[in-house]
Amino acid sequence: MRDTTAVVPPFDEWEPTSSARIFRRMWNLRLGVIGGLIILGLIFTAVLCPLLAPSDPYQQDIVNRLKPPLWMEKSLKGHLLGTDHLGRDLLSRIMYGTRVSLIIGVSAVLLEVLIGVGLGLVAGYYGGKLDSAVSFLVNCMMGFPFILLAMSLVAVLGPSLENVIVALGFTGWPVFTRVTRIETFRLREREFVLAATAQAFSTARILFRHILPNLLPSILVLGTVEVARAIIQESLLSFLGLGIKPPTPSWGTMLAEGRNYMLLQWWLAAFPGAAIFLSALGINLLGDALRDLIDPHLRKA
């Protein structure tokens, strides 16, 4: 490390050329398009999986259990990615798994937005003691290992689709509060808000008609990235046995089941995890590109 810094030429010579900067922007946009395509693919799969899936994801076939993917020896025709420990088709289960992931990802983020943006608007607009209280709560929530909270919530409520959404929603909202609060604080002093106040519009009207629309781009960008996080966290809860219950196909549950067969049947853990990774990557790529396009100053945050 010392050697490399010693030979580095003065900083100014390394100022990025404009072509390098343009290359980076183009590259980001292109990655964004790839991300968008991945997401379209996911939605397409989630909606049409009864038509697309090669077989029933619940159909057990004990005789043909733990078959490897098609390109390996001893594979079974008709099971592209092989079969799991109950002889169910892995590909079909992964395809049905997109439903669970997308439903939870989107609903949890909607709940986060509802709580987080609501609190952020109120705290940022009124300021004072209310603001201090909300900020304190946000700091506590953000400093603490969220996953323990979400796990305890699911443990108390009982594992089910709705409860996972509730657990993720009630633990993930502080990021939205933080962004909304600061932006509201800034907007409150702007002329158009002062004008609205001068016309004696109700607070609700000012908040929802004048301030909220200006926050939408930031919320949209943040929301996109949060969906990826929620999907990863849903699979994590399911992986720990505190999420979606088998036999419903969820990537996290499949990963947990696959882990038991890790020594010989590696594909059972590898492919569901790859599905989680790919969707999270796609959503993050799109989120980054959106941020570049709509809201460049969020980059710093």
Partner 1 sequence: MISFFLLFLNTDPALVLLPLDAEMKDIETFKKQMGLDRPILIQYGDFLQKVIFHGDFGQSLVAKVPALQLIAERLPATLQLTVAVMIIVNLVSIPAGIISAIRRYSLADNVATFVALVGQAMPLYWFGIMLMIIFGVWLRWLPISGSGSLAHLVLPAITLGSWILPINMRLVRSGMLDVLNQDYIRTARAKGLTEKKVLIKHAFRNAAVPLITILGMQIGLLLGGAVVTETVFAWPGMGRLAVDSIRGGDYPVVQAVVVIFAFFVVIGNLLADILAAVIDPRIRLE
Interacting residues with partner 1 (CB under 8 A): 1-2, 4-6, 8-11, 14-16, 20-21, 23-24, 27, 31, 137, 140, 142-149, 151-153, 155-156, 228, 232, 235-236, 239-242, 255, 258-259, 262-263, 266, 269-270, 273-274, 276-277, 280-281, 283-285, 288, 300
Taking the least distance from each CB to partner 1, the nearer of 23 and 192 is 23
CB of 296 to partner 1, least distance (A): 14
CB 151 within 8 A of CB 93: no
CB of 1 to partner 1, least distance (A): 5
Structure-token match 């999270």, residue found: 280
- Supply 257's token pair: 């089941």
Other C-beta atoms closer than 10 Å to the C-beta of 174 total 23
3-state SS of 57-107 is CCCCCHHHCCCCCCCCCCCCCCCCCCECCCCCEHHHHHHHHHHHHHHHHHH
CB of 32 to partner 1, least distance (A): 11
**Rounded distance between C-alpha atoms, residue 71 and residue 68, angstroms:** 8
Taking the least distance from each CB to partner 1, the nearer of 38 and 215 is 38
Taking the least distance from each CB to partner 1, the nearer of 41 and 241 is 241
Taking the least distance from each CB to partner 1, the nearer of 87 and 241 is 241
Q: What is the torsional sign of CA 146, 148, 151, 156? A: negative
CB of 84 to partner 1, least distance (A): 15
Taking the least distance from each CB to partner 1, the nearer of 196 and 226 is 226
CB of 290 to partner 1, least distance (A): 14
What DSSP designation does 159 have?
A: S
Taking the least distance from each CB to partner 1, the nearer of 193 and 237 is 237
**Rounded distance between C-alpha atoms, residue 69 and residue 198, angstroms:** 69
Q: Where are the beta strands (DSSP E) in the chain?
A: none
CB of 236 to partner 1, least distance (A): 6
3-state SS of 25-40 is HHHHHHHHHHHHHHHH
Taking the least distance from each CB to partner 1, the nearer of 77 and 129 is 129
Which residues in 193-231 are b (16+ Cβ under 10 Å) and which e? Answer: beebeeeeeeeeebbeebbbeebebbbebbbbbbbbbbb
CB of 26 to partner 1, least distance (A): 12
CB neighbour class for 284 (10 Å; exposed up to 12, middle 13-18, buried from 19): middle
CB of 255 to partner 1, least distance (A): 6
Taking the least distance from each CB to partner 1, the nearer of 2 and 77 is 2
